[in-house]
Structures are given as structure tokens and as C-alpha cells.
Structure 1
Amino acid sequence: MAEPRILVAVDGAVATITVARPEKLNAFDIGMLKELALACDTVEENAAIRVAILTGAGKAFSAGGDIKAWGGMRPEEFGHQWVRLGHRVFERLATLRVPLIAALNGHALGGGLELAAAADIRIAESQIRIGLPETGLGMVPGWSGTQRLVQRFGAQIVRRMVLGGETFSAAEAHGLGLVDAVVETGTSVAAAQAYAARVASRGPAALEVAKLMLSVANGEDNGSAVEALGSILVAKTGDLKEGVAAFSAKRTAAFKGEW
């Protein structure tokens, strides 16, 4: 059986998700996308986890999509099996119930930057570069590079990366708001762990609800965020408990409007 290439380690309230294909600069293939979705499930299902860290093994964060994985696909396969799958998985990552911190230990280019953009906080090492080089290969960003990145960082910065092929150093990315902090080479994971401890010390329910509220304010995932907030609120009420009890007992519910 093949070794897993998306690793999840849990230490108390902190989960660390590591993209572990260093020999390919942590470039993704379809199997890795599916593994990342399962890693998201692992984090979601563990109530003890309050914050997650995302990083890469070796010297790379992620080179994005492995060209060998998609280069020979038919157009319909490329659209459905590659682009749409990656989009769904990255959306799953972006909407984790817990805050997500990306420790950028290496370059974040193309799909690697789209992966980093799914995080709530990005901590970059000083030597890295950030960019979206897809148009140089005759293609376009497909894992929310023109959508989530525009919502989070602004259209003009994304235009420069997509249309002009510009890449930015960690310092430049920090000045543009693409990353939240720059640290020395080899220290991004430790910095992310320190920030994760800070996050984990705060109220977990407040963190989850605040993350949903921020998503709504930023125009991301409005429908599901609103429904999640409403469902959490209603689930705490006496009316829900009474409704479930009445259903089980096959009687008419006596709602009292208790919050």
C-alpha cells in the first residue's frame, strides 16, 4: 500500500496537516487531492482540535498541480476530474470549522498559492516566492486563484500575478497583504505553532462562529455560512429539544420559544 502523502498529526488542540511529497516539491496529483479531503474530515471530526496548521515537507510548501498528473488529460477530464475536484477540496479546506494557519516553508506558486490562500493566516519564510504562473503554460488558475484570491487580496494584485506573471518575494508579499508575517528560513512551522497556541487559548465556540461571520463579511460561502450559524443557534434552543422529543414520542410538540 502506498505511503500517505497528506499527513495529519494532532498535538492537544492543534492539528498539523503536512503535504508530504518532497521529491516532487509537494506537487499534487488526484490521489493527494482526495487525501487532503480526508484530512479535512479528520480535523472536523475531532472536537478537541481548535486550530490547524498547514505546511509542506522538505524545502517546498507546494508547487501546485503536478503537470504529469493533468498534462495528458482530455479537456473534459481536465475540467471535471482535475479542476472541479481541486476546487471542491480547496473549498473544503477553506471552510474548516477551525482557524487554519499556513506555514509557508517554501515557494507557493500556482496551486500552491491557491492552497495557501485557503488558510486564515499565512506565515512565510524570508526566502520564498509567491505567484500564479499558469498563463505562461497557456492555462488559467483553476483552484480559486481568480476567485478566492481576489476576494481576500484584491483584484489588482491578482491581475499582476495572472496577467503579468509577476512573482513576489516574501517581503513584497507581506507589503501587499498576501502573507501576514515573514520569518527566518526554517522557522515558519515554529512560528505557526506559536500563533496556533495563541488562537487555541481563545473560546472555541467564539472562534468557529467568528470565522463564519468573517466569511460572510468577505463575500465568501455566504449561503452555507448563514445556514451553519442559524443551525448552531437553533440547536441550542429548548424548542429543538422539544421537537425531537415530540417526534420520538409521536406526540404534538409544545414549543415555548425558549432560547
Structure 2
Amino acid sequence: MSDTISFTQTAGIATLTFNNPQRRNALGAAELDAIESGLSSLDENARALVITSSDDRVFCAGADLTQILDGSLSGDRFQSVTNKIAALPIPSIATLSGNVFGGGAELALSCDFRLAREDIVLRIPAAAIGLCYPVEGIERITRRLGPSMARRLLVAAETFSAEQMLALGIVDAIYPPDSLYAAAQRYAESLIKLAPMAVINMLEIIRQFEGGNLNREQADALAKACSDSADVQEGITAQREKRAPVFQNR
């Protein structure tokens, strides 16, 4: 890791934390390397990833524009990291503990779930400074939110409040400042109590649908693997016996 990125893994929940408030948690080459290192270190016990910030003022400002402009960092490098987050086999939760700017919004949209503090704002100001947002990022934002919302975020560079984001489906829930972290932890804990094979396989099928590249044969095989698993038998038995299931991911 680095001084500006920390990574921990405890009881099945991995946590990636941005810790560079002086730079509004902008992600330069060192930070992107550290994020990749953290993602690569996830072991088989990891069942959910929480991404958050140590600073309540800002979640993430995206790629470091200073490095983008001096040529030491490319938009493709930033995209490669958001792609890795989006492709993780386990569910990811963006905990938006502060304002979200630029590529920080795309990074949040690379996650499967987004929980936000009720007093934050989100804005992608690329058009306001004369930049065209990276094409792959435009694709992700449009795919996730639809072309109308992509136009508002990117072309019009609108600023959205947390309440607007909730109403528009940009985030899944909003919380008071003093309860966001606990809510994110509870959500992650609820995810890791579910049958891991079912979670992972359905997540993959949903992502294929979302990307317009559904492999029906593969999707059917993933669904059948769950139906034939020992976990589904355990889940049914536990429900019948009115106890918590003990899933083995098999």
C-alpha cells in the first residue's frame, strides 16, 4: 500500500480507503498502483469490498489532473483500475463519505452498490474545463445511468445533491453523517451472510445483461451450478429448521 491508500481485510470484508485529503483524494500513478496491489491481494475469504475515504469532505476527485496534463498519467491507466473494480467477482460498495468529483463518480459507478452521506454533492466538471471525459468512462456512465443522465452529468456538468442522486438512482441509499460508515458495514455484513456462489453467479449474469453481452449458455450453467450446490440444500434446510445457514461455497 501507500501513505495515501490503505487496504485491510477482516472477517470476509475488504476495505479500501482513500487517504489524501490535501489532494482531494485525487488518484495519481502511485495511488492507482496501490489500489491494484490491494485488489490483487484479495484472498479466497474476501466476500465483499468496501471503498471509502478517511476524509469527510471528499470521497474522490478521480484521476490526478496535474499528472494527466503533464503526461505522467493517462486516462487509460485510470480506466484500467475502474475496470478491475467493476470486474471483481465479489460485490463492491462505494461509501460516499464526502463530495464526489470527476472520475470519482465513475469509480463509484464501477461499484455494485453506492451508499452516500445525505449532505454531499456529485459533479463531473470535464466540460467546464474543456476536457472530453474518456470514452470508456462515458460508456460506463451511459450504461449504468442511461443516456439522458449521462448528458446531464457530462455534457451539462450539473451538480447533484445526495437527495437528487437517490431519486435518480445514482446512489442506493443516503444516511446522516454519523451513521454512514456503520450502515456500510452492516450492508457488507449482510452480503457476506448470503450464499457466496449465488451472489457471485447472479452478479456475473447481471453484469453480462448490463453490458449487452449475455452468454446464455454460460448464464444457464451458472444458474444450474447454484441449483445443484450443497449450499442450496443447506439454505433450504436452515430455513426449515429456523436457523442461520452455514454456507460452504460448494
- TM-score, normalised to structure 2, is 0.82
Bigger Cα displacement from structure 2, 119-128 vs 22-31: 22-31
CA contact (8 A) 2:28 2:67 kept: yes
Bigger Cα displacement from structure 2, 156-165 vs 173-182: 156-165
Give the distance between the partners of 1:141 and 1:210, measured in 2 at CA: 31
Following TM superposition, the consecutive aligned residue runs of length 4 or more in structure 1 with deviations greater than 6 angstroms are: 225-234
Residue in structure 2 matched with residue 65 of structure 1 by the alignment = 63
Match of 1:109 among 79, 95, 101: 101
Task: Give, in angstroms, the shift of residue 69 of structure 1.
Answer: 1.5
Task: Give, in angstroms, the shift of residue 118 of structure 1.
Answer: 0.8
Give the distance between the partners of 1:18 and 1:31, measured in 2 at CA: 14
Q: What stretches of structure 2 of length at least 5 have no aligned partner?
A: 226-250
Give the distance between the partners of 1:213 and 1:101, measured in 2 at CA: 18
RMSD over aligned CA atoms reads: 2.5
Task: Give, in angstroms, the shift of residue 88 of structure 1.
Answer: 1.1
Residue in structure 2 matched with residue 56 of structure 1 by the alignment = 53
Instruction: Please list, as runs of the form range in 1=range in 2, the aligned pairs for 1:18-57 lying within 5 A after superposition.
Output: 18-43=17-42, 46-57=43-54
Give the distance between the partners of 2:182 and 2:136, measured in 1 at CA: 28
Q: 1:125 to 1:159 in 2, by over 3 A?
A: same
CA contact (8 A) 1:125 1:170 kept: yes
Instruction: Please list, as runs of the form range in 1=range in 2, the aligned pairs for 1:6-17 lying within 5 A after superposition.
Output: 6-17=5-16
Residue in structure 2 matched with residue 200 of structure 1 by the alignment = 192
Give the distance between the partners of 1:87 and 1:228, measured in 2 at CA: 26
CA contact (8 A) 1:26 1:57 kept: no
Q: 1:221 to 1:15 in 2, by over 3 A?
A: farther
Task: Give, in angstroms, the shift of residue 188 of structure 1.
Answer: 2.1
Sequence identity, in percent? Answer: 27
Task: Give, in angstroms, the shift of residue 233 of structure 1.
Answer: 8.5
Give secondary structure in 2 for the equivalent of 1:145: helix
Task: Give, in angstroms, the shift of residue 40 of structure 1.
Answer: 1.1
In structure 2, give the amino acid aligned to 1:7.
Answer: S
CA contact (8 A) 2:205 2:219 kept: no
Q: How many residues align?
A: 225
Give the distance between the partners of 1:202 and 1:232, measured in 2 at CA: 16
In structure 2, give the amino acid aligned to 1:27.
Answer: A
CA contact (8 A) 2:68 2:75 kept: no
CA contact (8 A) 1:114 1:144 kept: no
Instruction: Please list, as runs of the form range in 1=range in 2, the aligned pairs for 1:156-167 lying within 5 A after superposition.
Output: 156-167=148-159
Q: 1:166 to 1:119 in 2, by over 3 A?
A: same
The answer on 1:210 being equivalent to 2:209 is no
Give secondary structure in 2 for the equivalent of 1:96: coil
Task: Give, in angstroms, the shift of residue 222 of structure 1.
Answer: 5.4
- TM-score, normalised to structure 1, is 0.79
Q: 1:212 to 1:169 in 2, by over 3 A?
A: same
Task: Give, in angstroms, the shift of residue 41 of structure 1.
Answer: 0.9
Task: Give, in angstroms, the shift of residue 115 of structure 1.
Answer: 0.8
Q: What stretches of structure 1 of length at least 5 have no aligned partner?
A: 235-259
CA contact (8 A) 2:117 2:180 kept: yes
Residue in structure 2 matched with residue 250 of structure 1 by the alignment = none
- Larger Cα Rg: Structure 1 or Structure 2? 1
